[in-house]
Structure 1
């Protein structure tokens, strides 16, 4: 996005970001604690840890010196060193190969570069996962992205062709946007653009088409009070070269998220109609809040990359984190 002046919108995004990042840092360790292993179902916990590893990767690329990154990186590194964790990736057979590929691709670099993920990657590549066989366009694109990230050989289609066969590309003008699945659209954009760290490679007409659909979906998600989906769509706007602080739908989305954020920094649910109940137990509150709060942390740390403001303390304005656990 480049360097912007320290306007109130940027300060508000910094505050939103600081709250979400601090909440995730305070509570992500629960995913690998005995209480978390006992209280959370295995497959949702595995998914949550993969999401955390993706956040760690993007956060380290966007703001490597951020001290709030340390607890997130520490949890990921601890899990990826655990020789028993790979077994959990295969508990749900229909997700096993994809989880294994993601686990291998998101392994943190460093002293444990030859840890358990190497054998897991080899197992994932032993079947037909890394070929085009029997894959939806979305799964094909996701597989290509993580195979490339992992540095493993594959026979998958290239990105331009995968975009051409995507649901986003195939959505005709004049058709209602309700036909589009927001997660499918946003993750298509994320994988093409490496979550904003490369150009998505779309030509003029394709880029205009994708921007139009994402902006219209953002407007609808804001109108419905969808916190999780709005966060993803704001990042998709950024990946397509838009500035969510400046587009009308992006500015409305950021206001929605700032207003929804709880005093402890969490987004306490996926939407205004799905927020955590007042009497929610700590584990219920965690399960309601984790997804949306992680999405906001991921989106805002990328949006704020490269921005400067006059008073660095403005970038860290956030309410004091509170106790999910």
Structure 2
């Protein structure tokens, strides 16, 4: 990918972010408790899966000669090695056949070309059971699991239309009801529908119009509150929407995010993070605590920056009629 001059500062955010992530490889590594039933998944498999997902997107949207592509591929190779070439997924599936996180993490790597046929075969067997299909999940998470199934060759007819109306975003709620949890839910609905930005046409026209109207004020609110992590996710959604509408990148938002970064390109979760005494950091070494407070938002900054700078120039298509959704209780 060769970024135009006007997107060069945004491109640099992605470069700096992945460079910082690369220096933190050891923090993404799986520990000895990776297969423990009572292991801390959020501090082991979750970071590794998020690393794989973002790097898969970066690799998809950049050309092989691009240094950013090379770094993303190297990080993907690292993530795959951490899973013992996919063998740990098979062992996890045997230990916890109805846990969804092994499939979700594996799917991120599978989207970049890493496959373990034995795991996929075992996962397909479990996915045919009523117990798997009837596991109770919130609608947004369900979309994510169904997307992971698709990536692993488990196809279900018309999966998105059935689940979408039950999500916060899919119901086109009153815009003033937006808050933090709704923000994270809506970004992930967009990510799942568009295969993490690979297929912007997966976003239905009514959602394109709704987001084109209301995403800018929501993003401004999050930036003003110093919610850098959520702001990064919303900027990724903005990039997806822009590929359908032809709207320009929100320069002021990117400038705010750039100014919030640390000295090495890392981005904190929120303004003035960490707090002087964070109970979640109790007993953690300072460098580990710093990693946990920065890795996700930094990955999201890289993800959003790559989607933004990779946006092709094309006229708006398939967005439907742009309008305010007064019928949904929106302020006029």
TM-score range, shorter chain: 0.7 to 0.9
TM-score by length of 1: 0.76
Quote how far apart the aligned CAs of 1:213 are.
3.3
2:23 is aligned to 26
1-structure distance, mates of 2:312, 2:199? 18
Any residues of structure 2 matched to 1:162-201 within 5 Å, and which? 162-173=163-174, 175-178=176-179, 181-201=182-202
Q: How does 1:1-325 map to 2 (within 5 A)?
A: 5-7=4-6, 10-32=7-29, 41-65=40-64, 66-80=69-83, 81=85, 83-84=87-88, 86-87=90-91, 97-108=99-110, 113-114=115-116, 117-118=119-120, 121-122=123-124, 124-128=126-130, 131=133, 134-154=136-156, 157-173=158-174, 175-178=176-179, 181-241=182-242, 246=248, 250-267=250-267, 269-275=268-274, 281-305=286-310
Matched residues in 2 for 1:163 and 1:107: separation?
Answer: 25
State the Cα deviation string for residues 260-286 of structure 1 (Å, max 9, x = none).
Answer: 11121211x2101323779x7211111
What is the aligned partner in structure 2 of residue 311 from structure 1? none
Per-residue deviation, residues 133-155 of structure 1 (Å, max 9, x unmatched): 64432123212211111111336
Q: Is contact 1:211-1:240 (8 Å) kept? A: yes
Alpha-carbon distance in structure 2 between the residues aligned to 1:129 and 1:193? 27
The answer as to whether partners of 2:107 and 2:152 remain within 8 angstroms in 1 is yes
1-structure distance, mates of 2:14, 2:198: 19
CA distance in 2, matches of 1:30, 1:179: 27
- Cα distance in 1, alignment partners of residues 75 and 286 from structure 2: 23
CA shift at 1:84, angstroms?
4.0
The answer for unaligned runs of 5 or more in structure 2 is: 278-284, 314-332
The alpha-carbon deviation at position 29 of structure 1 amounts to 3.8
| Pairwise CA distance, 1:130 | 5.8
1:60·1:69 contact (CA, 8 Å) conserved in 2? yes
**1:160-206 deviation digits (Å, cap 9, x = unpaired):** 34333321132434643238611100000111112221134455444
Is the 8 Å Cα contact of residues 97 and 129 (structure 1) preserved in structure 2?
A: no
- Answer yes or no: is the 8 Å Cα contact 2:30–2:44 preserved in 1: no
Q: Is the 8 A contact 1:189 1:236 kept in 2?
A: yes
Inter-partner Cα distance in structure 2 for 1:4 and 1:82: 34
Distance 1:277 1:74 in 2: 37
Contact 1:214 1:233 in 2 (8 A): yes
After TM superposition, the structure 1 stretch with the greater mean CA deviation from structure 2, 24-33 or 189-198, is: 24-33
8 A Cα contact 1:238 1:244, kept in partner: no
Q: How many residues align?
A: 297
- Structure 1 residue 127, shift from structure 2 partner: 3.4
Distance in 2 (CA, whole Å) between partners of 1:127 and 1:231 is: 37
Give the direction of change, closer, same or farther, for the CA distance of 1:100–1:34 in structure 2 (3 Å limit): closer
Between stretches 65-74 and 103-112, larger displacement belongs to 103-112
Are the aligned partners of 2:10 and 2:305 in contact in 1 as well (CA < 8 Å)?
A: yes
Cα deviations by residue, 1:77-125 (Å, 9 ceiling, x for unpaired): 202316345556798x7x9522132134233479963355335524642
Tell me if the contact between 2:193 and 2:202 (Cα under 8 Å) persists in the aligned partners. Answer: yes
8 Å CA contact 1:76–1:108 kept in 2: the answer is no
TM-score computed with the length of structure 2 as normaliser: 0.75
Alignment correspondent of 1:313: none
Instruction: Extract unaligned runs of 5+ from structure 1.
Output: 309-325
Instruction: Report the RMSD for the aligned CA atoms in angstroms.
Output: 3.7
